């Protein structure tokens, strides 16, 4: 039997929910999966153009699996959290190699794939196969934490366990696709992080946070820790033909697998950078021209990027298995670049 919370949510969804998002059209497991991964820590309005462009290039899991990692990253460039794209590519290859290109329909099998956790797997089986499965994405966490006044940061296991229990309790046996989208929509459109629209909320009568007049207290915030600051020289090197030197980053870590500018130790003085270019890159360069520094914030530290422009006077082919590439500016802009590097290059 559908409980009151789910009934109210479904009635609200029928009138106000988002029922025509791109991934709702022909909602295959593949399309739902791509959308769910893109939507992690990213707003719907940002995701839609990326999703449509991605699906145009990779319409099937086979297309994604046979593409190069570089190309997948280029279509992800600007979305951030690039481990999502690398895991997406690995999972696609696993589905093709181990599952004959067919998505597993069991939630526990989906959770074995790279980058697919419990909530993402539940969203796939619920929306693509109408299986009863409870989700707990960021929006659902906020709705349930407020409705039940669950105290504490959801990143703590004890708090997450309480929220999962509530998610299981409220998930209905019928209209599972609609309910799954409804609880995400309520969190995104009404029960927002700041200034929640309680007056328009279909479940406010049962909401403990509303009764206590303190919805902003839920969910609890992550304990604050001062982020360390790091700095780096970014070497913007151009040759006589107007080509830019890009370097592929290691496959794991920050901006893993993406193209970026070569870097240099921040302890070096600007006048020492030409010597660094000669010893590490085999390039003779002009005197450096320092550009305005700027700060980019990652989840766990701040990075001060100090760009410096150099012109290569003498170049040679870099024998480093293709890790460095000279690219015309337009080609460089089409490569898989982190957002701050793209802005700098532009």
pLDDT recorded at residue 315: 67
pLDDT recorded at residue 33: 97
Pairwise CA distance, residues 83 & 255, whole Å: 8
pLDDT recorded at residue 146: 98
pLDDT recorded at residue 1: 57
pLDDT recorded at residue 253: 84
Alpha helix stretches (DSSP H) within the chain: 4-16, 29-39, 44-57, 61-66, 69-76, 83-98, 107-110, 118-129, 138-147, 157-170, 176-189, 208-211, 273-281, 329-334, 339-345
Q: Is the pTM of this model over 0.75?
A: yes
pLDDT recorded at residue 319: 53
Q: Is 158 helix (H, G, I), strand (E, B) or coil?
A: helix
Two tokens at 102? Answer: 């067919």
Which residues of the chain register pLDDT less than 70?
1, 315-321
Instruction: Find out whether 302 and 219 touch, Cβ atoms under 8 Å.
Output: no
pLDDT recorded at residue 316: 64
pLDDT recorded at residue 114: 94
pLDDT recorded at residue 321: 63
Which structural domains are found in the chain, ordered by start? 4-217 (1.10.340.30), 229-345 (3.90.79.10)
pLDDT recorded at residue 41: 87
CB count within 10 Å of CB 195 equals 8
Pairwise CA distance, residues 80 & 339, whole Å: 7
pLDDT recorded at residue 140: 97
The sign of the torsion formed by the CA atoms of 127, 73, 258, 235 equals negative
Q: Which positions are catalytic? A: 36
Listed residue (143, 146, 165, 145) closest to 154, CA to CA: 145
pLDDT recorded at residue 247: 92
pLDDT recorded at residue 317: 53
């Amino acid at each position: 039997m559908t409980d009151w919370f789910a009934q109210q949510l479904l009635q609200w969804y029928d009138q106000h929910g988002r029922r025509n998002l791109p991934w709702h059209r022909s909602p295959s497991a593949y399309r739902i999966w791509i959308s769910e991964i893109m939507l992690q820590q990213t707003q719907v309005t940002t995701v839609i153009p990326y999703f449509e462009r991605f699906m145009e290039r990779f319409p099937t899991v086979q297309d994604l699996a046979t593409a190069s990692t570089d190309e997948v990253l280029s279509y992800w460039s600007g979305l951030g959290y690039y481990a999502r794209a690398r895991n997406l590519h690995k999972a696609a290859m696993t589905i093709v190699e181990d599952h004959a290109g067919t998505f597993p329909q069991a939630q526990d099998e989906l959770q074995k794939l790279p980058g697919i956790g419990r909530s993402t797997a539940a969203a796939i089986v619920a929306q693509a196969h109408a299986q009863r499965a409870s989700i707990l994405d960021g929006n659902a966490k906020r709705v349930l934490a407020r409705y039940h006044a669950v105290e504490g940061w959801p990143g703590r296991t004890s708090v997450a366990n309480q929220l999962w229990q509530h998610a299981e309790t409220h998930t209905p046996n019928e209209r599972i696709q609609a309910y799954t989208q409804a609880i995400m929509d309520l969190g995104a459109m009404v029960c927002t992080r700041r200034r929640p629209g309680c007056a328009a909320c279909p479940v406010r009568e049962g909401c403990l946070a509303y009764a206590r007049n303190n919805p902003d207290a839920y969910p609890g915030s992550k304990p604050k820790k001062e982020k360390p600051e790091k700095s780096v020289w970014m070497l913007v090197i151009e040759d006589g033909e107007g080509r830019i030197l890009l370097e592929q980053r290691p496959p794991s870590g920050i901006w893993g697998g993406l193209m970026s500018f070569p870097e240099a130790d921040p302890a070096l003085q600007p006048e020492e950078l030409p010597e660094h270019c000669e010893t590490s890159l085999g390039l003779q360069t002009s005197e450096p021209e320092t550009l305005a520094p700027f700060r980019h914030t990652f989840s766990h530290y701040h990075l001060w990027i100090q760009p410096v422009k150099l012109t290569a006077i003498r170049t040679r082919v870099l024998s480093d298995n293709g890790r460095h590439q000279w690219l015309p500016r337009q080609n460089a802009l089409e490569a898989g670049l982190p957002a701050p590097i793209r802005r700098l290059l532009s």
